[in-house]
Structure 1
């Protein structure tokens, strides 16, 4: 998960820089804001993946795979649909984005309940 998180962060930094420089002249303000939202959520959840990776190093637990997979899925669906929307202007892609948001919510909820269950085991 540390590797997946680091790669997701690398891609987020690259897409953020691409948006700030190359796309600044190509996209209108609304589409550029959508692009930046995709970058922001990808960065936050890349950090989440790295946090899960650190937890797995400290105490290997296969249960942590599910929130990690949900975060990866969320990045692909949420950020991916917003990147495509910003580049293409195809508005129906915005209808896909909430499915990625649900994956993010499930990931954080799953992680919270795992931590809650382990609070007395430490």
Structure 2
């Protein structure tokens, strides 16, 4: 397993633990009782974090058997999306730091690009098959 995939597995493991920790903290945070709108923001971050962390887990598992630059590209976009979308919303909802205002949408775009990158697997496989049949 090369260094890129090792880093990906490290990111998945650390983020799984962080997700559980953030969720546990949110269930007891006084801040969310006082400001329920911040809980909504936190839940949005948490939902996207969970969905894309599971997607990363699936991509990393597939990559053990099938190597593709499209899989790696998708995983990269999901990773950046988690950092820019979920983490900036966590930061805002927990501390009030408003850096999320301009970074969060970039993270959302990264999530979309990650899903769109998966199209390349189908397109790439078709071209590979065509070359084999020639």
Same fold by TM-score greater than 0.5: yes
Distance 1:51 1:116 in 2: 20
- For 2:87, the equivalent position in structure 1 comes to 80
**TM-score scaled by length of structure 2:** 0.77
Residue of 20, 26, 30 corresponding to 2:31: 26
* Structure 1 gaps, min length 5: none
| 1:71 and 2:78 matched | yes
Secondary structure of the equivalent of 1:59?
coil
Distance 1:92 1:56 in 2: 34
- For 1:58, the equivalent position in structure 2 comes to 65
Residue of 38, 41, 49 corresponding to 1:42: 49
TM superposition outliers: structure 1 runs of 4+ over 3 Å = none
* Structure 2 gaps, min length 5: 1-7, 130-134
**TM-score scaled by length of structure 1:** 0.84
Q: Pick the structure with greater CA Rg.
A: 2
Secondary structure of the equivalent of 1:60?
coil
Q: Which has the higher contact order (CA 8 A, sep 6+)?
A: 1
